[in-house]
Amino acid sequence: MEEINNLLYQLVLVVTFVAAAAYIVFFISQNKRIRKIARVILLASGILQTLYIAFRFVLVGHTPITSHHEAVVFFAWATTWAYLSFRWRYTVKNFGTFVTVLIFSLLLVASFSSWEILPLVPALQSLWLPIHAGVSIIAYGFLSLAFCGGLMYLLLERELKSKKFGYFFARFPSLDALDQLNSHCLTAGFVFLTLGIVTGSIWARQAWGTYWHWDPKETWSLITWFLYLVQVHQRFTVGWRGKKAAVMAIVGFASVVFTLWGVTYLLGGVHSYAG
């Protein structure tokens, strides 16, 4: 069984790589047919990721989000589906290229950490696990989209300001579209992030008796949450938008990534995967 599971993961990697490559080819050539193909491949990758996670769920008997590998795969999965669901509603020109490359990078990172299946620590055996971890990871998915949007915004803004219209000018959507994207992803991501923190603290109350006990991961989640809170607040009160918002989306994402990895490796704590 585990063999098949590993094989499935390798398949996910390969398919996602092909999707990313196809998107890059599309980005360079702007050939619409290639984009169509790339989209289908990315959809296939999304389905395969879902299968992989489902398979692993059956295999380990709980939501596969407790090891580092699993968490990052989940992250990639959330980004993929956040993007695909997003695309459903409206298109942002050439956004797919950036997102797919990010998804592939995440999956690649996940492949370097142990794929091993480990028994679950008693403290984590709860219905809250899928709720808390799932919601948080979905938040990360949206926030990573905001990151990609922010990156694109900065690239395009630089070309517009420097008045050197080159590569990105022709290929990128309008600044407004990127800013809108940022705003939507930020709002969605922020709501899920808040839910993640609330469910986490309820779960903590049940498992350890306190809502909050300043575990490093909790602290960093809170920092991340505040970073996004500031963005949401500023956007709706004084109209923080454009470059500032894009920079903040990138800073926020850096904080997300640190919460996910940095904390585990550098600071430890109850959230350390499979501790």
Partner 1 sequence: MQGEKIVLLGVNHKTTPVEVREKIALSTGYEEPLIALKNITGVKEYYLLSTCNRVELLLVTDAGAEVEDAIIEFLFGSRIPREECRNYLYLHYGEEAIHHLFMVAASLDSMVVGEAQILGQLKEAYRHAAQFNCTGPLLNKLLHKSFSVAKRVRTETAIGSSAVSISYAAVQLAKKIFGNLQEKKVMLVGAGEMAELAAEHLVGQGVGSVVVANRTLARAVDLAKRFNGTAVSIEELVSQLEHVDIIISSTGATDIILYKEQVKAIMRSRMNKPLFFIDIAVPRDLDPKLIDIDNVYLYDIDDLSSVVEMNKSERDKEAIKASRIVDEETLKFQRWCQGMAVTPTIQALKSRIESIGRNELERTLTRMGDISEKDRKNLEKMISSLTSKLLHNPLMYLKEESCAGRDNSDRKITVVREIFGLGNGDEHKSS
* Beta strands per DSSP E along 110-264: none
DSSP state of 62: S
From candidates 22, 53, 124, 156, binder to partner 1 by CB under 8 A:
156
From candidates 53, 177, 188, 249, binder to partner 1 by CB under 8 A:
177
SS3 145: helix
Check binding of 164 to partner 1 (CB under 8 A).
Answer: yes
**What is the Cα–Cα distance from 152 to 239, expressed in whole angstroms?**
20
Q: CB 173 → partner 1: shortest distance, Å?
A: 7
From candidates 191, 211, 241, 258, binder to partner 1 by CB under 8 A:
241
Q: Please, where are the H alpha helices in 61-174?
A: 68-89, 95-112, 128-162, 167-171
What is the chain's length?
275
What's the Cα-to-Cα distance from 37 to each of 24, 41, 96, rounded to whole Å? 12, 6, 12
Q: How many residues bind partner 1 (CB under 8 A)?
A: 22
Check binding of 233 to partner 1 (CB under 8 A).
Answer: no
* Stretch binding partner 1 (CB under 8 A), from 118-126, 130-138, 160-168, 194-202: 160-168
Q: CB 169 → partner 1: shortest distance, Å?
A: 7
- Nearest residue to 19 via CA among 69, 85, 74, 76: 76
Q: CB 251 → partner 1: shortest distance, Å?
A: 16
Check binding of 165 to partner 1 (CB under 8 A).
Answer: yes
Check binding of 89 to partner 1 (CB under 8 A).
Answer: no
Contact 145, 111 (CB under 8 A): no
**What is the Cα–Cα distance from 212 to 160, expressed in whole angstroms?**
46
Check binding of 14 to partner 1 (CB under 8 A).
Answer: no
Binding mask 189-208 for partner 1 (x = CB under 8 A): --------------------
Give the tokens for residue 51: 């299968």
Check binding of 62 to partner 1 (CB under 8 A).
Answer: no
Task: Match 């306190």 to its residue by tokens.
Answer: 210
Check binding of 30 to partner 1 (CB under 8 A).
Answer: no
Site residues (CB under 8 A) for partner 1? 156, 160-161, 163-165, 169-170, 172-177, 180, 238-244
